[in-house]
Amino acid sequence: MRCTLNINGTDHPLLLDPRVTLLDLLREHLKLSGTKKGCDHGQCGACTVLMDGKRFNSCLALAVVQQGRRITTIEGLATGEQLHPMQAAFLEQDGFQCGYCTPGQICSAVAMLDEVRAGSPSFVTAVKAQQPVDLSEHEIRERMSGNLCRCGAYPNIVRAVQQAWRKEKA
Ligand code: FES
Ligand code: FES
């Protein structure tokens, strides 16, 4: 099937087998290997990208049906040489060990802060908040629970997300 996908601000005209997942399109066809394949079953979050600003597991999405959406991968977060504040926070807080889960963690965290700004509830904040919720460690761990880290870098991942949130509020 022919389709055109907008990825990191660039339109890509493509001829694709309709069974190709967005994850395989990114990694195997477009060589955007920042997005990682962990489980390939929607369980680990390593493949998280942004679709129209919302986080999504790209291993669960067929590529051809994403036409008309704005897809952002880890490669598209920085502005030139300027890292996205979440990328900078992960670096400063040492929020990784092997780094395999990191692109997914960062994309997920970027969208998660948007959800918080919009007052989106979580298991920790059961009722829709009128104001952005307080991002406690408990809140961050719950809201980031779809992104697993086999190295167990969670304490520093939490600190990185808190840093990005606090810098934004300051
Ligand atoms: Fe997509 Fe694990 S590779 S959720
Ligand atoms: Fe290794 Fe998360 S840093 S899996």
* Domain 2-76, CATH class in plain words: alpha beta
Is the distance from CB of 155 to CB of 103 less than 8 angstroms? Answer: no
- CA 123 to centroid of ligand 1, rounded, Å: 22
User: Which residue in 152, 147, 116 sits closest to 131, CA to CA?
Assistant: 116
Å from CA of 105 to ligand 2 middle: 9
Is residue 10 within a helix (H) or strand (E), and if so which, with residue range? Answer: strand 10-15
CB 59 within 8 A of CB 23: yes
Question: Is 165's C-beta closer than 6 angstroms to any atom of ligand 2?
Answer: no
Contact 49/79 with Cβ under 8 angstroms?
no
Was domain 85-169 assigned CATH 1.10.10.10?
Answer: no
Helices 154-169 and 102-117, interaxial angle, to 10°? 40
**Residue among 57, 62, 147, 150 whose CB has most ligand 1 atoms within 8 A, to mutate:** 57
Domain residue extents for the chain: 2-76, 85-169
Query: For ligand 2, is residue 77 a contact (CB within 6 Å)?
Result: no
pLDDT in tens, the chain (170 residues): 999 999 999 999 999 999 999 999 999 999 999 999 999 999 999 999 999 999 999 999 999 999 999 999 999 999 999 999 999 999 999 999 999 999 999 999 999 999 998 888 888 876 555 555 678 999 999 999 999 999 999 999 999 999 999 988 77
Q: Which two tokens stand for residue 23?
A: 């994850």
pTM to 2 decimal places: 0.95
